[in-house]
Amino acid sequence: MKQKMLFKLVKYLFAAFLSVPLLYGAWLLARMLIFDYFTIPTVSMYPTLKPGDKIIVNKLKHGARIYTDLNFNPSGQELKAFRLKGYCGVKHNDIVVFNFANHWGKLNFIINNVFCKRCIGLPGDSVSAKNGHYENNNYTDVLCLEEEQTNLENTPDSLIIEGFWIPPYCNGWNIKNFGPMYIPRKDDIIKIFALEAAVYNVMLEWELRKKITWDWQKNEAYADGKRITHHKWEHNYYFMAGDNVMNSLDSRHWGVVPEEYIVGVVQKVIKKDK
């Protein structure tokens, strides 16, 4: 009898020992393919999201990203991954988690450097701002929070954080008034003049692997000193904006986000004060 009980105990302990790595593996697999969770660190999405709020990110909507190289460089690298097919993709006004892309004027990937913003521009859209209010040629409803944009409209320019990544603030664009700016869509072909080279210089340098320059007087653009007149986009891009338009470092400051950098769409918010 004692031997039988001892055998059952050993069998139970062995099963429990095996279940721990299996459960942990299932947890990691679920986080890789289905969902992930993050803590909001800043006020850029206030009042929708506050610092300390927890968010659950749905990876199935846009498709989970599968890395093909796990040797991550903390200083940045080229992202090596592919994406599974999602069931609907990112939509206008979705709150999206993504890897920050523009590091010191270059697009590169840092594994744990993630941002959370609202998507106001999809590939193929044209996005603009007039007196602080966002507009999109393919979306007629309000983007982000209208009340916050009204606050920006009524704020003197001297109190606004200067922004816009386009050097040297071409055409007078700023976070209050800019555009319309076309959001690049894969396989679309655009004409490239000086303005386009200034607006899309970071993306063009990433795709062409060449230095982009331009001449305002001649209205010409150059890649490694050779004139370019057209470009066929190799990637989809998204315009991301914070609901707290007065205090958000977003696509107005560092440009659009490549589709490959998207982690997923926020599905649920767990408030800090609950």
Rounded Cα distance between 4 and 51, Å, is: 56
Stretch among 15-24, 67-76, 77-86, 216-225 having the lowest mean pLDDT = 15-24
- Nearest-Å Rg of the Cα atoms of the chain is 23
Rounded Cα distance between 225 and 31, Å, is: 45
- DSSP state, residue 252: H
Q: Is 142's pLDDT higher than 50?
A: yes
pTM of the model: 0.89
Q: Which CATH number fits domain 34-160+238-270: 3.40.50.300, 2.170.120.12, 2.10.109.10, 3.10.580.10?
A: 2.10.109.10
Residue 158 pLDDT: 74
User: Mean pLDDT over residues 212-230, rounded?
Assistant: 95
Q: Is 105's pLDDT higher than 90?
A: no
- Domains of the chain by residue range: 34-160+238-270
User: Mean pLDDT over residues 184-206, rounded?
Assistant: 94
Rounded Cα distance between 258 and 15, Å, is: 45
Which band of pLDDT confidence, cut at 50, 70 and 90, is reported for residue 211?
Answer: very high
Kindly report, residue by residue over 118-129, the tens digit of the pLDDT.
Answer: 999 999 999 999
Which band of pLDDT confidence, cut at 50, 70 and 90, is reported for residue 168?
Answer: very low
Arithmetic mean of pLDDT over the chain:
87
Q: Is 83's pLDDT higher than 60?
A: yes
106 near 75, Cβ under 8 Å?
Answer: no
Rounded Cα distance between 163 and 160, Å, is: 9
Residue holding tokens 């004027």?
A: 105
Q: Is 39's pLDDT higher than 80?
A: yes
User: Mean pLDDT over residues 35-64, rounded?
Assistant: 94
